[in-house]
Structure 1
Amino acid sequence: MKFPARIAPSILACNLARLSDECSAALTSGGDLIHFDVMDSIFVPNLTFGAPLLSSLRKDGFAGFVDVHIMANNVDLLVEDCAAAGANSITIHFEATSHVHRALSRIRTLGCEVGLAINISTPLDAIEYVLDEIDMLLVMTINPGFGGQSLIPAALPKIEKARQILDRGGHATRIQVDGGVKVANIRTIADAGADTFVVGSDFFSAPDYAVRCAEFRAQLA
């Protein structure tokens, strides 16, 4: 199924001291949603932020769409907290919990869109029995944990296979990619079958966010 392309600036790369302004600028410059990485330094080797920061962002008046990507082990508690803090979409990792179906169902119950992420080494066959539960599949294109990494080429055929599996099964499911997405490769990633692109350092390092977003759009046109 063909979906319109979406640009998802990741606040992992923004100036967190000006979080609300950065998020607003990212969307007014042409981004579609904010990617909000929650890391626990256990599931991944980095510690970022959690539900309290999202709650503060909402209290500061930011009303844009926020997709929370949970890269942490304590999935059940974090899902509850992030939904209460104002998440619009919550994505959990298949590898982070033994009860994937239950966690996905809970996200839906809490009123959020449902995402499932898989690491580069996780085979697509592993998620066969939960595909009916998700709105978006996040195919990691790096090893999760840190921004600024280069895309792993092996992810491209995996994206292609994921798109084939979803289409063959009649699933109206988006494919998001996270890691190493740049102006120079976003077209190749889109051609593989992705439609939602997490952009971090290549977006927030630009002197003009609107110009950079236009460059992404030009490649996707």
Structure 2
Amino acid sequence: MILSPSMLSSDFANMQAELEALEAAGLKWVHLDVMDGNFVPNITFGPPIIKAMRKRSNLFFDCHLMIEDPGRYIQDFADAGADLICVHAEACTHLERVCAQIADAGCKPAVSLNPHTPVESIKYLLPQLHMVLLMSVNPGFGGQKFIPFTMDKLRDLKAMIRDAGCDTLIQIDGGVTPENTAELVSAGADVLVSGSAFFGHPPYDERLKTFEAAAAQAK
């Protein structure tokens, strides 16, 4: 289980200190939620902020683009220091082309699916995807409750990946807590995004251990 804390729930006034604290606590990934106020009803940050963060951190930058027509900005996010770029299937007219753009820019390609979007929609893209992100809340704001039917989607996606003979990772974002971590990992989740359930419970090294202990209970 890889834990990727969402900076959306961090202290924006002290982002350098937050990044340093995550590394010191033993985290390897960090989740960067980019919102444009169009695809989702919120605005966060873009390439300039990520570029500034990159200068202060060696963490794996897991960039989740919740923006319209993300293909216009792939190179900008790659240049800013993204390691993985995740785009929404619902925001791309030509999704395969955008995934190829991400790979060509030197980043790992990933696709996110909103709660209502069936996993079958990305079946034929699996061989070229490093990861699929299943949204377990409607995107746009932190602190929402986990949508229960995500568990069924997760099991279906895991079976689809297995049948395709791929090693694509599955990420879950939204309402992830230590209380549901074991069930998520048991069902096939590889990467868990946690915002308020992580940053709201310092110290970070102890919170990471809590998530890891929960994951160890997976069947």
TM-score range, shorter chain: over 0.9
| Structure 2 residue aligned with 1:190 | 185
| Structure 2 residue aligned with 1:44 | 40
Give the superposition deviation at 1:32: 2.2
Judge conservation of contact 2:123–2:160 (CA < 8 Å) in 1. Answer: no
Q: Matches of 1:36 and 1:177 in 2, distance apart?
A: 14
| Structure 2 residue aligned with 1:210 | 205
Counterpart residue type for residue 137 of structure 1:
V
Counterpart residue type for residue 187 of structure 1:
A
Q: State yes or no: 1:107 paired with 2:92.
A: no
Q: Matches of 1:204 and 1:33 in 2, distance apart?
A: 14
Q: Matches of 2:120 and 2:178 in 1, distance apart?
A: 31
Number of residue pairs aligned between Structure 1 and Structure 2: 216
Q: Residue 11 of structure 1: which of 7, 10, 16 is its match? A: 7
- Residue range with higher mean Cα deviation, 97-106 or 76-85: 76-85
Judge conservation of contact 1:89–1:113 (CA < 8 Å) in 2. Answer: yes
Q: What CA deviation, in whole Å up to 9, does each residue of 1:143-174 have, x standing for no partner?
A: 00000001000100100000000001101100
Give the superposition deviation at 1:27: 2.8
Q: Matches of 1:78 and 1:201 in 2, distance apart?
A: 28
Q: State yes or no: 1:95 paired with 2:90.
A: yes
| Identity over aligned pairs, percent | 38
| Structure 1 residue aligned with 2:79 | 84
Judge conservation of contact 1:12–1:147 (CA < 8 Å) in 2. Answer: yes
Q: Residue 26 of structure 1: which of 12, 18, 22 is its match? A: 22
Q: State yes or no: 1:144 paired with 2:139.
A: yes
Q: Matches of 1:20 and 1:123 in 2, distance apart?
A: 38
Give the superposition deviation at 1:24: 2.2
SS in 2 for 1:185: helix
Q: Matches of 2:50 and 2:59 in 1, distance apart?
A: 12
SS in 2 for 1:210: helix
Q: Matches of 2:171 and 2:20 in 1, distance apart?
A: 21
SS in 1 for 2:15: helix
Tell me how large the CA RMSD over aligned residues is.
0.9
Q: Matches of 1:76 and 1:156 in 2, distance apart?
A: 30
Q: Matches of 1:128 and 1:10 in 2, distance apart?
A: 27
TM-score (ref. length: structure 1): 0.95
Q: State yes or no: 1:119 paired with 2:109.
A: no
Please list every run of at least 4 consecutive aligned residues from structure 1 whose deviation after the TM superposition is greater than 3 angstroms. none
Give the superposition deviation at 1:177: 0.4
Judge conservation of contact 1:38–1:68 (CA < 8 Å) in 2. Answer: yes
Q: Which runs of 5+ in 1 are unaligned?
A: none
SS in 1 for 2:111: strand
SS in 1 for 2:139: coil
